[in-house]
Amino acid sequence: MKSILPGEIDGVRVTKSQFSSDFRGKFIKIEPNLEFRNGLDSVAVSINPISGTIRGLHFQITPRAEEKIVTCIQGSVFDVIVDIRPDSKTYGKYSTIELDASSGIQVYLPIGIAHGFQTLQPDTIMQYCLSTPYSPTFAFSINPFGELDIDWPIKEFSISEKDASGLSLSTAASKYAESLRN
């Protein structure tokens, strides 16, 4: 499967966060309530000390399906998004983009998009603005080494067993679609 540009995934938006800097450092402003239909419910941070760490490809299903804004606030990542919405014109397509702390790029992900990343530097920190809190009962992951054939840039990696044994794309899409019907 071939990667496409993030803006080519239906509903995904790539924007630049507002930031200012001076001798004290940087101030980054992220305004998730301008994006989210129902407002911001939680913020999460992923701290990754080891370069090559893979997290994802994660998604939640209804009634805890979530919109996200992801931003790299320290270090850099190879960011991956996957459309699991069977009725979407971009269903089954994935996109990659490099996010780093200096660019200020942030990515808005609508409901029905799975997300993951690989750290490109040690001590990388990702920030998530979420429309709903994490719910283990409704949370799943897609196998990042399955049929999507993602070319992860760092070949020596660490990954949790749960993420490595994630669902196939078609099973993930079925779970998502079924949750919408219930």
> Known catalytic residue: 58?
yes
Which stretches within the chain are classed as H helix? Answer: 161-164, 169-181
Of 96, 69, 94, which Cα lies nearest the Cα of 84?
94
Query: Exactly one of 94, 108, 115, 128 is catalytic; which is it?
Result: 128
* Plot region of 32 (φ>0 → left; ψ -120 to 50 → alpha; else → beta): alpha
Q: What is the 3-state secondary structure (H, E, C) of 28-70?
A: EECCHHHCCCCCCCEEEEEEECCCCEEEEEEEECCCCCCCEEE
- 115 noted as active-site residue: no
Helix (H, G, I), strand (E, B) or coil at 17: coil
Contact present, 82 and 114 (Cβ < 8 Å): yes
58, 94, 108, 176: which is the annotated catalytic residue? 58
Which residues form the catalytic set?
58, 128
